[in-house]
Amino acid sequence: MSSDRFDLGGGEPIITLRDIAKSYWREELEIPVLQGIDLEIPTGAYIALMGPSGSGKTTLLNLIAGIDRPTGGSLEVCEHELNDLDDDQLAAWRNAHVGFIFQNYNLVPVLNAFENVELPLLVSGAGRSERRDRVEQALTLVNLTDKMRNYPRQLSGGQEQRVAIARAIVTNPDLLVADEPTGALDAKNAEEVLGLIERLNTELGKTIVMVTHDPKAAHHAKHQIHLEKGVLDRTVEVNR
């Protein structure tokens, strides 16, 4: 189903982008990557961000997740004006509000599944037993409690990504960002991971922004939006 309105459903916005621009400079030459992005994403949304290679999807996702800064415009995410936060405040903000899921899982090879999931909790300063409870909860959710002591090299790609998902949700963030989360997986594992991400949205109410090339993956999201040469397409596809 397609709609002409730029509407991602009701509810309070958790992400508000106002006239966001991002450029790089190469030898005095400005290379615009994103221009005039206005976007409101309501709490509980599950958005697939699509577009051709080089259109700026990753750049936009990184801005929303607070690991990059815009060169123009402002953005409010999880009730914080990100432009107002300094680097350390932004780090603390990410720890509390954002979970990251990467294409290459990015688990720490010298830590086992349990320890990988525990990592973000070291920053939030949770006590030992609280950390253990939360790590076990997160691993239960991704159905990997039996692999807790396995190191990444002792896990399949699908299992690694599930550990990474557990790590992303262990701090109980409001927002999950995923950049091509199934890009490195075969069809069966991709389906499993997408099903899991979907459950995080429907059952736990996480707001999810997922960058993907894959139309099948995009179909798992509630809405699809498109970037084209750094500009947001006004068309929104509504899946459900």
Partner 1 sequence: MRWLALIWKSLMRSKRRTLLIVGSLVLSVFTVAVLQSLLTTLNAVTNNPNSSNRLVVRHKSGLTQMLPRSYEAYLRQQPEVATVCALQWFGGYYQDPRNFFANFASDETTIFQIFREEFGTSGISEAQIKDYQRDGAGCIVGESLAKKNGWKVGDVVPLTGTIFPINPRLTIRLIYKSPKPSDENVLHFHYKVLEEGVPRMKGLSGSFWLRTRRPEDIPRLIERVDRHYANSAYETLTETENAFNLAFVKMLGNIGAIIQGITAAVVVAILIVTGNTMATAIRERTTEIAVFRAMGFSAGRVLTLLLAEGVLLVGVGGFLGVLLANLAAGGVRASLGSAMPFFADFAILPNTVLACMVGALAIGVLATFIPAYSATRRPITEGLKAVG
Ligand X SMILES: Nc1ncnc2c1ncn2[C@@H]1O[C@H](COP(=O)(O)OP(=O)(O)OP(=O)(O)O)[C@@H](O)[C@H]1O
**Sites of contact with partner 1 (CB under 8 A):** 58-59, 62, 65, 67-68, 87-88, 91-96, 100, 102, 106, 108-111, 114-115, 118-120, 122-124, 167, 171
Dist CA 198 CA 204 (whole Å): 10
Q: Which residue is listed with tokens 């709609």?
A: 3
Residue 54 binding target from ligand X, partner 1, Mg ion, none, CB below 5 to 8 Å by type: ligand X
Output the CA–CA distances (angstroms, integers) from residue 171 to 30, 167, 207, in the order listed.
38, 8, 14
Dist CA 113 CA 163 (whole Å): 6
For residues 97 and 123, the answer to whether their CB atoms sit within 8 Å is no
Give the shortest CB-222-to-ligand X separation in angstroms. 21
Give the shortest CB-38-to-ligand X separation in angstroms. 18
54 in contact with ligand X (CB under 6 A): yes
Give the shortest CB-115-to-partner 1 separation in angstroms. 5
Dist CA 196 CA 104 (whole Å): 17
Out of 44, 48, 55, 112, which residue is the one contacting ligand X (CB under 6 A)? 55
Chain position whose Cβ is nearest to Mg ion? 58
Give the shortest CB-76-to-ligand X separation in angstroms. 21
Output the CA–CA distances (angstroms, integers) from residue 39 to 74, 76, 184, in the order listed.
11, 11, 29
The distance in angstroms from the start CA to the end CA of the chain is 8
Out of 59, 182, 189, 207, which residue is the one contacting ligand X (CB under 6 A)? 59
Q: Binding string, 78-117, against ligand X, x = CB under 6 A?
A: ----------------------------------------
